[in-house]
Each structure stands twice: as structure tokens, then as C-alpha cells.
Copies of this chain bind each other. A is one copy, B any other.
Amino acid sequence: MGSAVITREDECGLALGRLASIVEQVSELHSKGHQIMLVTSGAVAFGKQKLRQEVAMSMSMRQTLSSRDTQFRTNQRLPPRACAAAGQSGLMALYEAMFTQYGLRTAQILVTKPDFQNDESRNNMRSTLLELLNLNIIPIINANDAVAPPPEQDLDLHGVISVKDNDSLAARIAGEINADLLMLLSDVDGLYTSPPGTDGSRLMHTYSPNSNGRSLIFGEGSRVGTGGMESKVKAALFALERDVSVVIANGFANLAIKNIISGKKVGTFFTEHTESTTPVEQQASNAREGGRALQKLAPFQRAAIIEKLASLLLDRQAEILAANKLDLDEARRSGLAAPLISRLVLSEHKLKILADGLQQIAKDSYNNLGRVLRRTKLSEDINLQQISVPIGVLLVIFESRPDCLPQVAALAISSGNGLLLKGGKEAYHSNKILHGLVQEAMEPHVPRTTIELVSKREDIGDLIQMDQYIDLIIPRGSSDLVKSIQEQSKGIPVLGHSEGVCHVYIDREVNPEMAIKIVRDSKCDYPAACNAMETLLLHKTLLNTTLFDNIIEMLKANDVVIHAGPKLLEHMKFGPPPSKSMKTEYSGLECNIDIVNDVDEAIAHIHQFGSSHTDSIVTENEQTAAQFLKNVDSACVFHNASTRFSDGFRFGLGAEVGISTARIHARGPVGVQGLLTTKWILQGNGDVVTDYSQDGEKVFCHESLPLQTES
């Protein structure tokens, strides 16, 4: 691990907590072997405006203290040092006290321009800095403002920029010691395409002088002015020419330094290389454009793309299977578990089924968009209709199964949505060729970039913040994945199930064979699925019956670990170990069992502990069943059936987008309808609302009209 140089931009104030955070991060990175030095501004510790206040406070403090000093001392022991004035010595003392808490020592280095002008002093400075780093001492570097030379000499020399500010000072030093990385911390997030806040301004994640040019235009009067970003960019380019990588980032962002060093996309990264892949924000913007292009097509054109994709899956079978073999070989080498490998496998048979499915999606796609859902005659002059339209741009994150890619692509095309896809890296080659076929099918009608494959996992973190480009996120995977996406996404809705805590309730009036069969299927058919049973509720009268014993026996025979709920424990002398929580989603061969007095108590239990996913009652009593079906407040409520039926394919929705436990938009298994929203179209005749006011000449009639599909 090499050396790194940090400079702090104090223009807009760094609060004490931020300083502490810098010390924490630097100390932690230091303990991991990173060598880091700080370049900090001289007199200003906490920002100009704030400082003035603080100084004023200090002054009045000192007056207070001196006037009462004698009296003061008699009352208690004070730390010996006098109250230091804010400024450089105070700042150094603060740094020292903070780093001391991590067992780290600091060294203050003050430099002036002449120190860079002659080779001997430059060499001395460099060796001092390197020596300090080797001694595990954090150098804290400042321009020595007090003895700085007169300003008229302060010009850029050949190959050496001026020490006008901390940025150029840091860049110079970074060059001198051949640092690996220079972090220029500011109060803005990085370099923008135009001044931040203006229309269309976008953060540049990478900046390459080769492709972006060496000169940038900075907005006048904006915060990206001479004092701010321009000097930073100049310093960055200076360092870059000396082979030092540079990041300009927001020092106020949480853990900015650690995140930059761990390679996360923070701020603007300066590089000599032009990125070969398209940046994600460009991909997202392309998907938005592409979605609109898809929407403009006639239904037969969207169907034609999907039909073409279906035929490509068969025509290019050999290529697809060859790419899939690369993934499978790699998976076997890395020891991927057998069930995961079987999900990864593509075969002639699977491709045939996949192509058939796509043909079906193509057929169904004629009636997705522009379907009239409501027609109202508002008045003699105004007609209103509500029609179905695409949501916009979808981000679908899926794991393992490569057959998911053409399915989701077909659903997006059928519903006129732009799409960003992120597959698992274990299916890299398969996904790549399948995505190529999707693009090939789209090309005659819409841009290839309408459906994009996102290659890097860390891009997800960027994408789920881009609410200007992405309208719905669908994570198809573990509930941990879903939860993490839900927590990170700001403003973009996430469709998915957070948890599947599904119940089966066995009523008193029950067919014992049916009960056992349903419990077995619900728990054991595929215990990792979100629609598998986690808690079995039994009517109290079933205790000490053969059915009870048989259920326990069947579960044990299937290696299911049983946990007893509180009421079951009360009834048993020697029972299974107690459940830690009745809310647990085991996702494996484990379950809770508890006792309830009646169907009402079962419903109350499900409401208290369930996740509103899928709950089933087994009973021969139709009235009890009706009560359960009506009152259980879950996405799916079943009678005499396994919870495992909760699935888009089994529900007859065609290809499944996912299962939602949200209450709005789509609930339960979601088909293509979950990718659609509505739009209101109003056609008037020069109408204005003032004509319809109390004294106006027109009146509303609000007459509901029969539906007819848009021609």
C-alpha cells in the first residue's frame, strides 16, 4: 500500500465532527497499512465565518476568566494549559489529541514556495515526509502563511505550480513523494458537467483529460468558481501528469476517505484512460430514451421484437450453450453448490421452453399499452380517458438463472419499458450472449441501448439513487438483497417481498391426510422459497391426537427442525426447544409450531407475527374457511392448498416479475400488469375551469362511458 495525500478544503467550514471523522478514517486506514498524510489549511480550522464567531467567543471568555481568575482557581483543579486561541496551534493540538486516542503521533510540516524551488530542499522535504510515514507518524502539512514570499513572485514555474492554495500544495507534494492517490476534499460532490443545481447538471464520475479536454468552463458566480473547483481541477491535472491518481470528493460525505480508498465510486476520479464501457448514468439515460422509443412503436412492432428474440434463442442455440458452458466450467471449478449449478444450466430443452414462453408474451403484448381503463364524459365539450402506459425504466437485479434475462427483457419490451439488467457474475458469459441477442432483436426498431446490462455490482449503488432515470427497482433474489436495496433506494419504489413468514393453520374439522399432505408440501417442497411455510398453527383440540403425532413424525422424517411456540410449550412436558421468535423466516428445513384456540386466534397470530405474504387454512368447514379468507390481511390467502401455489406461473400470470408484499401498486405474484401504470388523457374544446365555476356558463355532467380500446 502506497502513500496518499489528503487536502481539506476549509472554505465552507469543517465542523468538529467532520474533523473527528477524518481522524478516525485515517487512523483506521493507517492500522491497515495505508500511509496517509494530511494537507490542511493554516489559520482556519473551522471555516471562515464560524471562526470569526469562535474568536469573538474566545476573547470574551478570556476577559471573563482573567477577571475572576483567582476566585476560580481556589475552587477546583483546572488542566494546566491556558485556553488556547482558535487557529493553527489550536488545530494542531486538536489533531494531536485526537490521533493520540488511536495511538498515533502527528508531525506538523510548514512549507513555503522556496522550499520547492531548489533541489536540495525538495529532496530534504521528500525524505523527511517519507521518513515520517515509515515511522508511522502522520505528517500534517501547511503553507507557512506567516513567512510566505510576496505575491508578485507567486507564478507557476516550469513543471511546478504555485503554492497558492492547499490544493496546489497537496498536488505538488503528491508529485514529490510519488503518491498513489491524491484526495481533494471539498464541500461539493465532485466535478459537474455544468454548475451544480443548473438544469441538466450531472456529476462526472470519471474525468479524463483525453476525452473531456484539459480546459473546463466554470459557471460564473457559481460555487464552481475560481476559488473552488477550478484550482482543484488544475491541481488534479498537475498531479495526474505526475502519475498520481486523483479524486475530488465531498469531505462531508460519510466515510468519504475510506470509501475512496476501498475503490467505491465517490466524487470525480481523474484518469488518463478513457473508460471503455459506458458509464451507468449514461446507460440509465439511454434506457429512458429507449423506453420512450419503445412506447412510440405500434403493438405489432413490439411483438415482432419479442418474436425475433424467441427465434434467435433457437437459431443461436450452439453459441448460447457454448457461453453457458464457460460459466458452468467456472462454477464447477469454484465449487458452486449443486442446486445453484442446476439453476445456471441452459439446455436445448430449456431454450425451447423459453422461446415458447416468449412467443406467448409476444401474443399477449397487443393489449398491454393504451388499454382504456376508464372513460368519462366530463361535459358536453370534454372527454376524459384513463389508459395504461409503461412505468418508464425498470432496474431488475437477478441472481444465477440466466433464462431470467430474455424473460424480463421480453416483459419490458411488451410493456414498453426501458430496462437495466444486473445479473449474477456466475452467469456472466450466458448473460452477455443473451443480452446481445436482445439487442440484435431490438435493433431494427429501437436503439440497442434501450435494454442495457449493468456490469459492475458497485454500479447498483449509483443506479438506485438516479430517480430521474429509474422508476421502479425489482430485486429478484434473497430477502436480504431486497431489504438492502429497499434501504438504499431514495425515492425510487422497490417491488419485492421483504420477508415470507407464511402460515398453515389446521382447523379442528379437518381431513387428516389432506392436512399432512399440505403441511409437507408447504414446508418441504422447496424450503428456501419465500412461499414456504414457517409456522404451523394447530387448533387446540388437535393436541394429543393421532394427527398431531403424525404431523410431527412426517416433519421429523423430512429432517425438519421443530421449534415450539409459547402455547405449545405450556401443553407439553417434554417438547421441542422453544422458538426464539414467531416472526422468524427460517428459509430452510425448520419451522415453528404453536397452538390456537380457534380461527380468530389463528388470524390474530398471523396478523401479529406474519409478513402478509401467503397464509393457508386447512378445514372442511366452509364457514370457518370463509372467515379466514375474508379476514386474513395477506397478499395471498388459501383454503385447502399448499402455500407454495403463491407464484406467478402457477397463478396463470405468464412470466413472473416477482412477488410483492407491498400493499400498494402490485401485491402478491406480479405479472406484466406490475410493469404498467396509467395516464389520463383529456380532450377539450378550448375549455377553462373558470367556465365551470359557480357563475360560469358550463356544467360538469360526469357521465361514465363504455370502455373501448384505443385504436
Q: How large is the interface on A (under 10, 10 to 19, 20 to 34, 35 or more residues)?
A: 35 or more
Q: Which of A230-256 contact B (CB under 8 A)?
A: none
Residues A689 and B582 in contact in the complex (CB < 8 Å), given A376-B651, A493-B664, A638-B682: no
Could you tell me the distance between the alpha carbons of A92 and B101 in the complex, rounded to whole angstroms? 11
Select from chain B the residue with minimum beta-carbon distance to A702. Answer: B652
Select from chain B the residue with minimum beta-carbon distance to A495. Answer: B664
B61–A105 CB distance below 8 A: yes
Kindly state whether residue A350 has any CB partner on chain B within 8 Å. Answer: no
Q: Which of A530-574 contact B (CB under 8 A)?
A: none
Residues A105 and B83 in contact in the complex (CB < 8 Å), given A664-B472, A667-B678: yes
Main SS at interface, chain A:
mixed
Could you tell me the distance between the alpha carbons of A679 and B614 in the complex, rounded to whole angstroms? 10
Residues A581 and B198 in contact in the complex (CB < 8 Å), given A650-B689, A650-B700: yes
Q: Which of A42-66 contact B (CB under 8 A)?
A: 45-46, 54-58, 60-61, 64-65
Could you tell me the distance between the alpha carbons of A127 and B75 in the complex, rounded to whole angstroms? 9
Kindly state whether residue A685 has any CB partner on chain B within 8 Å. Answer: yes
Residues of B contacting A21 in the complex (Cβ-Cβ under 8 angstroms): 16-17, 20
Kindly state whether residue A707 has any CB partner on chain B within 8 Å. Answer: no
B108–A83 CB distance below 8 A: no
Kindly state whether residue A40 has any CB partner on chain B within 8 Å. Answer: no
A637–B679 CB distance below 8 A: yes
B641–A76 CB distance below 8 A: no
A136–B83 CB distance below 8 A: no
Q: For the complex formed by this chain, how many copies does it contain in all?
A: 2
Q: Which of A91-123 contact B (CB under 8 A)?
A: 91-94, 96-98, 100-109
Residues of B contacting A108 in the complex (Cβ-Cβ under 8 angstroms): 76-79
Kindly state whether residue A663 has any CB partner on chain B within 8 Å. Answer: yes
Kindly state whether residue A577 has any CB partner on chain B within 8 Å. Answer: no
Could you tell me the distance between the alpha carbons of A679 and B8 in the complex, rounded to whole angstroms? 55
Residues A128 and B76 in contact in the complex (CB < 8 Å), given A23-B16, A103-B61, A680-B637: yes
Select from chain B the residue with minimum beta-carbon distance to A296. Answer: B631
A641–B64 CB distance below 8 A: no
Kindly state whether residue A308 has any CB partner on chain B within 8 Å. Answer: no
A635–B102 CB distance below 8 A: no
B132–A76 CB distance below 8 A: yes
A655 to chain B, nearest CB (A): 13
Interface hit among A147-155, A312-320, A431-439, A515-523: A515-523
A641–B682 CB distance below 8 A: yes
A631–B295 CB distance below 8 A: yes
Kindly state whether residue A621 has any CB partner on chain B within 8 Å. Answer: no
A100–B93 CB distance below 8 A: yes
Other-chain residue from B109, B685, B687 in contact with A645 (beta carbon distance below 8 A)? B687
Residues A83 and B100 in contact in the complex (CB < 8 Å), given A664-B664, A682-B639: yes
B54–A690 CB distance below 8 A: no
Q: Which of A643-673 contact B (CB under 8 A)?
A: 644-646, 650-652, 662-669
Query: A491-512: contact bitstring with B at CB < 8 Å (1 yes, 0 no)?
Result: 1010100000000000000010
Residues of B contacting A607 in the complex (Cβ-Cβ under 8 angstroms): 292
Select from chain B the residue with minimum beta-carbon distance to A684. Answer: B641
Q: Which of A187-234 contact B (CB under 8 A)?
A: 198-200
A384–B94 CB distance below 8 A: no
Select from chain B the residue with minimum beta-carbon distance to A91. Answer: B101
B631–A292 CB distance below 8 A: yes
Q: Of residues A137, A520, A582, which shows the largest number of chain B Cβ atoms within 10 Å of its Cβ? A: A137
A464 to chain B, nearest CB (A): 15
Could you tell me the distance between the alpha carbons of A291 and B711 in the complex, rounded to whole angstroms? 42
Kindly state whether residue A633 has any CB partner on chain B within 8 Å. Answer: yes
Kindly state whether residue A35 has any CB partner on chain B within 8 Å. Answer: no
Query: A461-494: contact bitstring with B at CB < 8 Å (1 yes, 0 no)?
Result: 0000000000110000000000000100001010
Select from chain B the residue with minimum beta-carbon distance to A678. Answer: B667
A690–B61 CB distance below 8 A: no
Could you tell me the distance between the alpha carbons of A663 and B393 in the complex, rounded to whole angstroms? 11
Residues A136 and B678 in contact in the complex (CB < 8 Å), given A296-B631, A688-B520: no
A679–B668 CB distance below 8 A: yes
Could you tell me the distance between the alpha carbons of A131 and B72 in the complex, rounded to whole angstroms? 8
Kindly state whether residue A608 has any CB partner on chain B within 8 Å. Answer: yes
Select from chain B the residue with minimum beta-carbon distance to A629. Answer: B681
A683–B640 CB distance below 8 A: yes
A378–B198 CB distance below 8 A: no
Could you tell me the distance between the alpha carbons of A55 and B101 in the complex, rounded to whole angstroms? 9
B664–A680 CB distance below 8 A: no
Query: A4-31: contact bitstring with B at CB < 8 Å (1 yes, 0 no)?
Result: 0000000000011101110110000001
Residues of B contacting A337 in the complex (Cβ-Cβ under 8 angstroms): none
Kindly state whether residue A692 has any CB partner on chain B within 8 Å. Answer: yes
A96–B79 CB distance below 8 A: yes
A597 to chain B, nearest CB (A): 18
A43 to chain B, nearest CB (A): 13
A350 to chain B, nearest CB (A): 13
Residues of B contacting A513 in the complex (Cβ-Cβ under 8 angstroms): 686
Other-chain residue from B46, B106, B136 in contact with A101 (beta carbon distance below 8 A)? B46
A199–B518 CB distance below 8 A: no
B61–A688 CB distance below 8 A: no
Residues of B contacting A100 in the complex (Cβ-Cβ under 8 angstroms): 83-84, 86, 90, 93-94
B83–A93 CB distance below 8 A: no
A391 to chain B, nearest CB (A): 5
Residues of B contacting A61 in the complex (Cβ-Cβ under 8 angstroms): 103-105, 136
Could you tell me the distance between the alpha carbons of A609 and B200 in the complex, rounded to whole angstroms? 9
Residues of B contacting A177 in the complex (Cβ-Cβ under 8 angstroms): none
Kindly state whether residue A382 has any CB partner on chain B within 8 Å. Answer: yes
Q: Which 10 A-B pairs have the closest CB atoms?
A: A641-B684, A521-B688, A20-B20, A57-B103, A652-B702, A514-B686, A58-B103, A97-B97, A664-B665, A665-B665
A-B contact pairs, 13 of them (CB 8 A): A17-B21, A20-B20, A20-B21, A54-B102, A61-B136, A64-B136, A76-B132, A91-B101, A295-B630, A472-B664, A525-B690, A640-B684, A663-B677
